[in-house]
């Protein structure tokens, strides 16, 4: 059964219905919803615990059907894309539920926080660290592209650390604007100002390379703490992007390697046919070789990040606290179970 409305034809629509498969149980029967982790225009995201496998914590995106009316295809597309993608650096869709009023997306829980926040909190940060971060993003996006998916909204807010561990991997999230290449020509202007490719602004047909441009912008910011294109006026900002005008300003780029600058020039390249693919970017010496400097650039980068990407932290602090509090409760519960029930079944086992 499709997520919204009635199936037009049970025979011809079978494959699509399989892709959209919704769990027949009620979401509350399987998961206990706890604190709110975030709120969007059409949805709320809750921290939740599996009632059967107590050590499994997830994030559940609860989407209001009334608020989404007229945009049902967008949700169906997001679910189709998420079901298709299975990669260690992409936030996983576990399963879906639906009732009369809402659709529920049960997502893999990531608890490490946003990319820029972690960099600011670090004591040391080098080009080598930035190179490794970009490598992980490129590998995930290369896989995505191999599956015929274009993200179309890659930006720092959609890059999350999997856990609070210092060596945690980075995860790509939010596929609300993603598109399957086989679903038709892409020409819709979408994305986030500052990260969007020039061909999108020019309203020309575009493809996978728009994601590579966005990765180039992210790489630039990771090395200096400010964006390559900026203007308070959107028209002026878009004019900069269309021309591909950016600089490696002194003193912020003085200690950054020529290899890093060369890498960025090949990604933030207006001519689509000359812009690197993900595979070409992965083969660049700054990613695959040893050309990334190991000079500590934390002081200047973190100062610029705080200056240029300042935002209200209270909601994020609350979200992090909610997850930590539930994890501690879970750890205490597990500890009590293990000491009082020597012969009990492992709660993590299915």
Question: Which span out of 16-20, 72-76, 94-98, 328-332 was modeled with the highest average pLDDT?
Answer: 94-98
Higher per-residue confidence, 332 vs 205: 205
Quick check: do 1-109 and 115-308 share a fold?
A: no
What is the pLDDT, as a whole number, of residue 4? Answer: 34
Please choose, from the candidates 281, 278, 289, 277, the residue with its C-alpha nearest in 3D space to the C-alpha of residue 264: 281
CA–CA distance, 153 with 13 (Å, rounded to integer): 29
200-236 pLDDT per residue, tens: 998 898 999 999 999 999 999 999 999 999 988 889 9
CA–CA distance, 348 with 238 (Å, rounded to integer): 51
User: Three-class SS of residue 190?
Assistant: coil
274: Cβ contacts below 8 Å, ≥ 6 apart: 266
Does position 338 have pLDDT exceeding 80, yes or no? Answer: no
Residues 225-251: what's their mean pLDDT? 93
Tokens 């994030």, residue located: 59
Does position 187 have pLDDT exceeding 80, yes or no? Answer: no
What is the pLDDT, as a whole number, of residue 39? Answer: 83
Q: What percent of the chain has pLDDT over 70?
A: 81
Does position 92 have pLDDT exceeding 50, yes or no? Answer: yes
Q: pTM score, two decimals? A: 0.82
Residues 230-251: what's their mean pLDDT? 93
Give the residue extent of every domain in the chain: 1-109, 115-308
Tokens 């979401």, residue located: 27
The backbone torsions φ and ψ at residue 106, rounded to the nearest 5 degrees and listed phi first, read: -90, 115
According to the annotation, is 261 in a ligand binding site? Answer: no
The CATH number that domain 1-109 falls under is: 3.30.200.20
Residues 137-150: what's their mean pLDDT? 97
User: Three-class SS of residue 151?
Assistant: coil
Please choose, from the candidates 27, 23, 94, 107, the residue with its C-alpha nearest in 3D space to the C-alpha of residue 60: 107
Question: DSSP letter at 233?
Answer: S
Contact 187, 204 (CB under 8 A): yes
Does position 263 have pLDDT exceeding 90, yes or no? Answer: yes
Question: DSSP letter at 350?
Answer: -
CA–CA distance, 216 with 214 (Å, rounded to integer): 5
Tokens 């980068």, residue located: 301
Residue 103 bridge partners (DSSP): 63, 98
Of the pLDDT bands very low, low, confident and very high (cuts 50, 70, 90), residue 250 is very high
What is the pLDDT, as a whole number, of residue 336? Answer: 52
17-73 pLDDT per residue, tens: 444 456 778 999 999 999 998 887 788 999 999 999 988 999 999 999 988 888 888
What is the pLDDT, as a whole number, of residue 38? Answer: 85
Q: What percent of the chain has pLDDT over 90?
A: 64
In sequence order, which ranges of 20-126 are alpha helices (DSSP H)? Answer: 27-30, 72-84, 115-121
Residues 187-194: what's their mean pLDDT? 79
In sequence order, which ranges of the chain are alpha helices (DSSP H)? Answer: 14-19, 27-30, 72-84, 115-121, 127-146, 198-201, 209-224, 234-243, 258-267, 278-282, 285-288, 298-308, 314-340
The backbone torsions φ and ψ at residue 27, rounded to the nearest 5 degrees and listed phi first, read: -60, -35
Average pLDDT, the chain: 84
Contact 195, 155 (CB under 8 A): yes
Higher per-residue confidence, 6 vs 191: 191
The backbone torsions φ and ψ at residue 144, rounded to the nearest 5 degrees and listed phi first, read: -55, -45
151 CB neighbour count, 10 Å cutoff: 26
Q: Which two tokens stand for residue 51?
A: 């009632």
Overall fold of domain 115-308? Transferase(Phosphotransferase); domain 1 (1.10.510)
Higher per-residue confidence, 152 vs 181: 152
Of the pLDDT bands very low, low, confident and very high (cuts 50, 70, 90), residue 330 is low
Active-site residue list: 153
Residues 285-303: what's their mean pLDDT? 96
């Amino acid at each position: 059964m499709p997520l919204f409305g009635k199936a037009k034809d049970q025979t011809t629509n079978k494959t699509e219905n399989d892709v959209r498969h919704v769990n027949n149980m009620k979401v509350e029967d399987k998961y206990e919803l706890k604190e709110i982790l975030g709120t969007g225009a059409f949805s709320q995201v809750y921290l939740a615990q599996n009632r059967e496998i107590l050590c499994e914590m997830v994030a559940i995106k609860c989407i209001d059907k009334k608020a989404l009316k007229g945009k049902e295809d967008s949700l169906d597309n997001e679910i189709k894309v998420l079901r298709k993608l299975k990669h260690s650096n992409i936030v996983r869709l576990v399963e879906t539920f639906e009732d009369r009023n809402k659709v529920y997306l049960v997502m893999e829980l990531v608890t490490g926080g946003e990319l820029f926040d972690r960099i600011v909190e670090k004591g040391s940060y080098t080009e080598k660290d930035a190179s490794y971060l970009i490598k992980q993003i490129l590998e995930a996006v290369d896989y995505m592209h191999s599956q015929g998916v274009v993200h179309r909204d890659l930006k720092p807010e959609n890059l999350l650390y999997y856990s609070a561990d210092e060596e945690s991997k980075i995860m790509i999230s939010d596929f609300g604007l993603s598109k399957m290449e086989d679903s038709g020509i892409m020409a819709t202007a979408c994305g986030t100002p500052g990260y969007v490719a020039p061909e999108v602004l020019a309203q020309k047909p575009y493809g996978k390379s728009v994601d590579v441009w966005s990765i180039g912008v992210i790489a630039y910011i990771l090395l200096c703490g400010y964006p390559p294109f900026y203007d308070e006026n959107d028209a002026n900002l878009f004019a900069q992007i269309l021309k591909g005008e950016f600089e490696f300003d002194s003193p912020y780029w003085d200690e950054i390697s020529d290899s890093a600058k060369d890498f960025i020039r090949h990604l933030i390249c207006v001519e689509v046919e000359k812009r690197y693919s993900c595979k070409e970017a992965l083969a660049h010496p700054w990613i695959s070789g040893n050309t990334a400097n190991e000079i500590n650039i934390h002081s200047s980068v973190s100062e610029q990040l705080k200056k240029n990407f300042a935002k209200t932290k209270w909601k994020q602090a609350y979200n992090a606290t909610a997850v930590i509090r539930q994890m501690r409760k879970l750890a205490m519960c597990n500890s009590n179970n293990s000491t009082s029930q020597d012969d009990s079944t492992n709660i993590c086992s299915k």
